[in-house]
A = this chain, B = another copy of it.
Amino acid sequence: MKFIPDFEDVAFAHDLIRTHVHRTPVMTSRSINAITGGNLFFKCENLQRVGAFKFRGACNAVFSLTGDEAAKGVATHSSGNHAAALALAARIREIPAFIVMPVTSPAIKKTAVAGYGGQITYCEPTLQARESTLEMVVRETGATVVHPYDNSFVIAGQGTAVKELIEEAGDFDMLITPVGGGGLLSGTAIAAKYLLPGCRVVAAEPAGADDAFRSFSTGIWVPSENPKTIADGLLTSLGRRNFRIIMDKVDDIVTVSEEMIIGAMRMIWERMKIIIEPSSAVPLAAILEGKIDVSGRKTGIILSGGNLDLGKLPFS
């Protein structure tokens, strides 16, 4: 696999994972179109298996392993959707998945990973402990590490969501994704700029976790430091290879307030009757906040996932 994947890799990924992933529906909302003045198409990756687009990339990484590699399993450290996604992909291929999780991970995430047959090793909740524990696990098992976003198979897999969106709904003037580590954004940009060279690709990021915005604006990669946002899928730093792809192919990155993320999430729940996690609401928040102008533009939005704790909702 190339260091920087291209559309051929996305198309190859799509053929490889097609039988395992859901071809998720594309939804529209008259009322949200009326409110925004746009013509919006939502690709519902919250309805993907594991409840997030992450399953696409994990599946592509797992099914791209050689037989010898596969026999030793896969490994990652993650407290989020990638852990569950990798565990399920591995279970489908009938190989082990070794997941390093901080002991402080929410019970719901631990249960999900264990439920998909992932073998969990707990560690202290620091990046250092996560990385050293993962190293130890890999030394013992020989498993292949699958990074949640800075991995070419993962990036190519994430690009399949927008490929399906374009296949189903046709041309777009603009596509918007949230950005955290940059796996979804870089995969989307690769697929979109190949299929629709004239289409704008824009990302939205919480102002409280704006490392991608700052890196993109200056062209100099900066890490995510003390990020604070309800969009817990977007706390991580931009991956190095994701950053290169984004600098090359993305047209703009904008930031949005926490209030608007919550408002946009509630709007999608109320108007579209679907559950999305806060990270998924960030693109609509950017539109509602006037950071992205959708008037007169056919616009596609990837709803990235639907996993959150229903006992701790931000509505009142």
Contact = CB atoms under 8 A, between A and B. Distances in A.
A11 to B, nearest CB: 27
Chain A, interface residues (CB within 8 Å), range:
10 to 19
Nearest to A306: B273
Interface stretch (A144-152, A208-216, A308-316): A308-316
A310 B313 CA distance: 9
Interface string A255-278: 000000000001001101111100
Contact of A310 (B25, B51, B269): B269
A216 to B, nearest CB: 30
A269 B315 CA distance: 16
Contact of A274 (B270, B275, B315, B316): B275
A47 interface: yes
A275 B25 CA distance: 16
A46 B51 CA distance: 19
A313 B51 CA distance: 21
Interface string A266-292: 100110111110000000000000000
Given A269-B310, A274-B274, A310-B315, 5 more contacts: A25-B25, A269-B275, A273-B275, A273-B276, A310-B313
Interface of A: 25, 46-47, 51, 266, 269-270, 272-276, 306, 310-311, 313, 315-316
